[in-house]
Chains A and B, each alone.
Chain A
Amino acid sequence: MTQQEILRLTRRHFFEEAFGKAAGIGIGSVALATLMPARLDAQGLPQSLGSHAFDFAPKAKSIIYLQQNGGPPHIDMFDYKRELEKRDQEPIPESLIKGERFAFIRGVPKIQKSPFTFKQYGKSGVWLSNLLPHTAKVVDDIAFVRSMHTTQFNHGPAQIFQMTGFQIPGRPAFGSWLSYGIGSESKDLPAYVVMLSGDANPCGGAAIWSSGFLPTVHQGVSLQKKGDPIKFLSNPEGMLPETRRRALDLIGKLNSQHLDEEGDPEINTRIVQYELAYKMQTSVPGLMDIASEPEAIHRLYGTTPGQSSYANNCLLARRMVERGVRFIQLTHRRWDMHGATFDEDVVNKTPAACRETDQPSAALIQDLKQRGLLDSTLVIWAGEFGRTPMRQESPYLGRDHHTKAYTIWMAGGGIKSGTIYGSTDDFGYNIAENPVSVHDINATALHLLGIDHTKLTYKSAGRNFRLTDVEGEVIKPLLA
């Protein structure tokens, strides 16, 4: 019986089933497990329950998803193409772009070589541009997928597709599916946390951490950059924590008396959630206080306490993994570069974006590894699409959105390290071998978390839905 079906039962029927039947088990006990997002463990601490049993032994416990918002230029960072240098400024072969629609490019654009230099690194001999000196140090821990493709050529829909598996808002995001499926390991933090940095908030908006049709308890909690990281985390101004504690004691006492009389397990959930709220009031400020980290860690990540930055968010992500947060989503909006202005020039903006993300992303891998957490944490670095190997007609050097081929990387959590998977043609325009879709990546990530992506479903509007819709293959060569 699905959670939806249970909710359709009337309350009275529910309790008859739960407590009235002689056996005392049946729908009731299933319902209790699904309806109650939390229960008390042996120590009296709230524990979150998932609704999905593991399909196989999980390799990873948590996912850190580094969403590179705007479309990083794969040919300027990861996918070195000599052909672009040879044919720089020639018109792109018309056969490639025939019938293709771009967000901005019209007519026959010119080939644009990368303004950056490339070298090979690590055991796999992966080519990286000089913009990624820190990533270069950890390539042996990373699997590069150079044959990604997507279906959406505008930022908003592409990001929503990337995070929810569907381009129109309204479906649950990846983290929500995990929160719903396997619950949280944390006793005092939400299962799904979102942190934003960069130029602005993501074009995809809150849809990229929405719980969609799943209960909102599974929604990503987006930490605010200013004031309370979580809305209303602080007590009303001037109220001391002890005063709040005494009020909570009375709430707990009266709710317990009420529970004794009514026997409704939702009252118990309420008691548990109020205690969890109180725990968050004390645990979240501690979690956010990165000033307590040693100097060496700040040097590794390039962090400055008190700032709001991608680097700080990477360090916070590691602290959240240590505290059992299931899905941590970073979104860094900095990668859109059409060449309309000097600042939006590929030559200026790519290095700027890499300066902000290269060191912290690599530091995160190193730091997780030195703490023995990399094996149980899957890190995904991915934009919503790549950028064209052709120049866009603009005052400065610009590249348009490119959906047919781009590069992402994954590390840890059961991923085969030091791997390069897939390749593109001579221009970095089309995929040459082993195409990988967004659904394939999501299926592979779920697999590493111990979930068969075809089995994690939720019934809404008359049919079962899943993160991978009706597609997705686990990419076996990426598994360790």
Chain B
Amino acid sequence: MWDIPFRAADDRWVTSQGEDRYRRGLYIFIRRTVRYPSLTVFDAPSRETTNGRRNRSNTPLQALTTLNDPAFFEAARAMAARIQREGGGDSAERVVYGFRLVTSRRPSDKEAAAILDTYESERKYFNGNAKEAEAICGKQDPELAAWTMVSNTLLNLDEALTKE
């Protein structure tokens, strides 16, 4: 993406390593002529003119970004690890913990049941699909893989993305 029109070797954008990889989006290097794609799909102003109000949009490209962009998917992995570490002993407690992390409220019984259901079936699924589990969470750990998918789901809820 950065090859043209900036061909100079030191003008290339490289994915950060180590701690820098997890700095906030605020620190993304801005180049007005080649805008960072994940910001553009969320209506980041072009910085070509002053901008009084940001456009609002709701597009399939945004959905693809929050579902699949490695930055977002790694967040789901980290959230899964945190749910396991801090979310209490049983799965029902962990569902509530994960949901609260994202939405700042407790899930309704109906919501909690739907999430728990999905968690259980994902865990069973990854039990028989250890390789896919490893691709998803980095370990052949069906529980962690299932929590990663649950986290990826929670982070993509309308309520997680939009404040009503």
Contacts and interface: CB of A to CB of B under 8 A. Distances in A.
Contact of A170 (B46, B60, B68, B131): B46
A183 interface: no
Interface stretch (B11-19, B32-40, B81-89): B32-40
A369 B139 CA distance: 55
A394 B4 CA distance: 25
B5 A201 contact: yes
A205 B34 contact: yes
A210 interface: yes
Interface string B137-164: 0000000000001101100111101101
Contacts of B67: 232, 235, 244, 247, 277
B56 A205 contact: no
B63 interface: yes
B114 interface: yes
Contacts of B156: 247, 251, 274
Interface in A415-459: none
A218 to B, nearest CB: 9
A206 interface: yes
Nearest to A212: B46
B64 A277 contact: yes
Interface stretch (A260-268, A307-315, A349-357): A260-268
Contact of A215 (B57, B65, B118, B122): B57
A238 B58 contact: no
Contact of B35 (A206, A234, A246, A247): A206
A190 B59 CA distance: 10
Interface residues of B, number: 56
B56 A238 contact: no
Given A170-B49, A216-B43, A264-B164, A255 B60 contact: no
Contacts of B62: 273
Contact of A277 (B33, B63, B69, B152): B63
Contacts of B69: 231-232
Interface in A224-267: 230-240, 243-244, 246-247, 250-251, 253-255, 257-259, 262, 264, 266-267
B158 A270 contact: yes
A232 B64 contact: yes
B153 A251 contact: yes
Interface residues of A, number: 56
A39 to B, nearest CB: 12
A250 to B, nearest CB: 5
Given A206-B34, A231-B37, A266 B152 contact: no
Interface string A180-202: 00000000001000000000110
B119 to A, nearest CB: 10
Contact of B159 (A7, A203, A258, A280): A258
A165 to B, nearest CB: 16
A381 B48 CA distance: 29
Interface in A3-49: 7, 37
Nearest to A237: B135
B4 to A, nearest CB: 5
B78 interface: no
Given A257-B111, A269-B58, A239 B136 contact: yes
B152 to A, nearest CB: 6
Contacts of A267: 158, 162
Nearest to B70: A236
B149 A200 contact: no
Contacts of A238: 131-132, 134-136
B41 interface: yes
A221 interface: yes
Given A216-B55, A231-B61, A258-B158, A203 B118 contact: no
Contacts of B35: 206
Contacts of A276: 60, 63
25 contacts: A7-B53, A169-B46, A170-B49, A213-B55, A215-B55, A216-B57, A231-B65, A232-B61, A232-B65, A233-B64, A236-B73, A239-B136, A247-B67, A247-B149, A250-B153, A251-B153, A254-B153, A255-B157, A258-B159, A267-B162, A273-B62, A274-B156, A277-B63, A277-B67, A280-B60
Interface of B: 4-5, 33-35, 37-38, 40-41, 43, 46, 48-49, 53, 55-65, 67-70, 73, 108, 110-111, 114-115, 118, 121-122, 125, 129, 131-132, 134-136, 149-150, 152-153, 156-159, 161-162, 164
Interface of A: 7, 37, 168-170, 190, 200-201, 203, 205-207, 210, 213-217, 219, 221, 230-240, 243-244, 246-247, 250-251, 253-255, 257-259, 262, 264, 266-267, 269-271, 273-274, 276-277, 280-281
Given A201-B5, A247-B67, A269-B58, 9 more contacts: A216-B41, A231-B65, A236-B70, A246-B122, A257-B108, A259-B158, A270-B58, A270-B158, A277-B64
